[in-house]
Amino acid sequence: MSAPDLGQLQAAFKAYLFSGANEAVLAPWFAANKGIEVPHRLDVYRNAYYIRLQESLAHDFPALLAYMGGAAFGREMAAYLKACPSTSPLLRQLGERLPDYLSDHNMPLLADLARLEWAVLEAFDAADSRVLTVKALQNIPPERWQNLHFELHPSVTVLDVRTRAYEVWNAHRKQQLLPDQQNDAMAPLLIWRSPGGLSVKPVSTECHSLLVSLRNRLSFAQACEQLAVVMDIGNVAQAAARCLWELICQGCLLEQLEWG
Amino acid sequence: MFGLGLRPPFYEQAIRGKVAVDWFELISENFMVDGGKPRAVLDAVCEHYPVALHGVSLNLGGTDPLDEEYLDRLGKLIDCCEPLRVSDHLCWTRHGGHHLHDLLPLPYTRDTVAHVATRIRQVQDRLKRQILIENVSSYAEYAHSEMSEWEFLNAVAEQADCLILLDINNVLVSAHNHGFDAYCYLRALPAQRVQQIHLAGHSVSGPLLIDTHDHPVSDPVWTLYQLALQHLGAVPTMIERDDAIPSLDELLAELDIARRIRAREPAA
């Protein structure tokens, strides 16, 4: 058998790691020294590939692992790795497509749980930025409020969850049993990092509306118009001020403001 | 000249400068993030210790083009912490855009030497510094290899004009798995190019040794370390531990063994 070129060899090796199906093609390119059969030697690489990557996913999605159980998690992650092999040099990015994968496979609770855990990971090492203070806000001249743009801190994620993923995540975090009774109210979630640590909390409809508007880079005035869609217009100003206050106190807004 | 691989259980002590080591080695990819705790740890550790950067995803032996974005990130990290040394592995880790997150073996051929050396030169030109390449543990050898592993390592280092990070546990593991003489390997290395040594533990899996970094350094590795120092002289040395990580005191006690072995050897 002629020697393969390097690219051909690596393509075959990769295919073997992914499925093992082409072992008969790959094996003749290796030497069977010390009486140890080549398939046994290649097994070391294939086993290590799946073990290492599944361990990484287990580390990044601990609540998902706890909820699914080890065996089901292992099966699903092996399927995920076959469908979505890593495309980043950083192992930390391995689970990036897991929420969409679970969603595409009609597992909405698992998808929401993965989305929540991924947002926590993203918040953990998002860029550092100075946050807006109440004092800085008080220095804004009234005439500038009309065109004022607030920007969310890079660690902030706003999640629309349609399942009890937060309950599952929270029970795991507190090492509690999951309540049998389903909580009907599926509030949107706010995930962010502050100097005090990582936080996840459900937010009101009004705050969610404001957050989505800010995420979509609407001005504060436009965000208030959007608020009027979800609440009585007479209460918009008060609700907007309350939500803005909360976001500032939580360290969710950037110090840098934009006008116009 | 003795260091440890910086791992999360030691972050708190390291950022307070309370660990009795001369330097820390950081896994480059763990700090290629925008901010948050990893970057804060990096900044704080660098206030107390020199660091070396050790990567796992440079894919020096791959046939995919070198990853420009990765090199950008590595360059920024180098600017940020001004490391003593920058290293990665003599292996391939990616193909067809897919990262395999493993240190996969290369055939020891003249063509591969030329291919890898060219890529190392590109990396060195880009980073404006020499890098160190580490020998990896292997479990299978290609039938069409034309030279021994150490001849391959030396040829790549020579053609690329790069430096070597010698992992003595990897030499032992590969020597066991393929039946070559580890001492022969060590004696063949160019002393002027070996600028760092890794010591680690391994596991036994049937007839093979596996490089798991989850055990203390074994006695045969200590023996080889002593032999290596006789040939190479004083080389910055560290313990790598990635799994079943013991207390810091235990690792420091292992590092003391390395110090004692070094103290027994006359300067080369």
Amino acid B89 reads H
Q: What is the DSSP letter of A179?
A: P
Reference A57, options A8, A11, A93, A100; nearest CA is A93
Is residue A25 a part of any domain in this protein?
A: yes
Q: What is the pLDDT along chain B (268 residues), one digit of tens a residue?
A: 999 999 999 999 999 999 999 999 999 999 999 999 999 999 999 999 999 999 999 999 999 999 999 999 999 999 999 999 999 999 999 999 999 999 999 999 999 999 999 999 999 999 999 999 999 999 999 999 999 999 999 999 999 999 999 999 999 999 999 999 999 999 999 999 999 999 999 999 999 999 999 999 999 999 999 999 999 999 999 999 999 999 999 999 999 999 999 998 765 4
Establish if A259 touches chain B: CB-CB under 8 angstroms.
no
| One domain, residues A139 and A222 | yes
Contact B207 A36 (CB under 8 A): yes
Is residue A120 a part of any domain in this protein?
A: no
Between positions 151 and 210 of A, the ones with CB within 8 A of B are 154-155, 193
Establish if A124 touches chain B: CB-CB under 8 angstroms.
yes
| One domain, residues A130 and A190 | yes
Q: Which residues of A touch B40 (CB under 8 A)?
A: 128
| One domain, residues A43 and A139 | no
Q: Are A188 and A154 in contact (CB under 8 A)?
A: no
| One domain, residues A45 and A78 | yes
- The pTM (predicted TM-score) of the whole model is 0.94
Nearest to B139 among A41, A89, A125 (CB): A41
Rg (CA), chain A: 25
Mutation to test the A interface, candidates B144, B156, B181, B214, most A Cβ within 10 Å: B144
pLDDT at A213: 96
| Number of independent structural domains in chain A | 2
| One domain, residues A142 and A232 | yes
DSSP A75-111: HHHHHHHHHS---SS-GGGTTTTHHHHHHHTT-HHHH
Is residue A117 a part of any domain in this protein?
A: no
Contact B115 A6 (CB under 8 A): yes
Which chain B residue has the Cα nearest residue A47?
Answer: B102
Q: What is the CATH number of the domain that holds A143?
A: 3.90.930.50
Nearest to A41 among B59, B67, B140 (CB): B140
Contact B99 A87 (CB under 8 A): yes
Q: Is the pLDDT of residue A180 over 80?
A: no
Q: Are A228 and A119 in contact (CB under 8 A)?
A: no
Is residue A1 a part of any domain in this protein?
A: no
- Angular region, B218: left φ>0, alpha ψ -120 to 50, beta rest: beta
Residue A197 parent element (H or E): strand A197-202
Q: Are B136 and B149 in contact (CB under 8 A)?
A: no
Rg (CA), chain B: 18
Reference A195, options A231, A157, A249; nearest CA is A249
pLDDT tens figures, B198-215: 999 999 999 999 999 999
Establish if B112 touches chain A: CB-CB under 8 angstroms.
yes
| One domain, residues A131 and A255 | yes
Rounded to a whole number, what is the distance in Å from the CA of A49 to chain B's nearest CA? 7
DSSP B204-253: EETTEEE--S-SPPPHHHHHHHHHHHHHH-S--EEE---SS---HHHHHH
Which chain A residue has the Cα nearest residue B27?
Answer: A90
Establish if A82 touches chain B: CB-CB under 8 angstroms.
no
pLDDT at A1: 64
Is residue A159 a part of any domain in this protein?
A: yes
Domain-ending residue, one of A74, A106, A138: A106
CA angle B42, B212, B51 (to 5 degrees): 20
Establish if B36 touches chain A: CB-CB under 8 angstroms.
yes
| One domain, residues A27 and A131 | no
Which chain B residue has the Cα nearest residue A87?
Answer: B98
| One domain, residues A84 and A190 | no
Question: Which residue range(s) make up the domain with A158?
Answer: 125-259
Does the model's ipTM exceed the 0.85 cut?
Answer: yes
Reference B242, options B188, B184, B203; nearest CA is B203
Contact B100 A14 (CB under 8 A): yes
Domain-ending residue, one of A71, A106, A141: A106
| One domain, residues A132 and A102 | no
Is residue A113 a part of any domain in this protein?
A: no
Domain-ending residue, one of A51, A74, A106: A106
Cβ-based contacts under 8 A for chains A and B: 133
Is residue A116 a part of any domain in this protein?
A: no
Is residue A111 a part of any domain in this protein?
A: no
| One domain, residues A90 and A140 | no
| One domain, residues A142 and A219 | yes
On average, the pLDDT of chain B sits at: 96
Give the Cα separation of A7 and B259 in Å (integer).
Answer: 43
Q: Are B241 and B7 in contact (CB under 8 A)?
A: yes
| One domain, residues A95 and A132 | no
Contact A30 B141 (CB under 8 A): yes
Q: Which residues of A touch B208 (CB under 8 A)?
A: 36, 40-41, 44
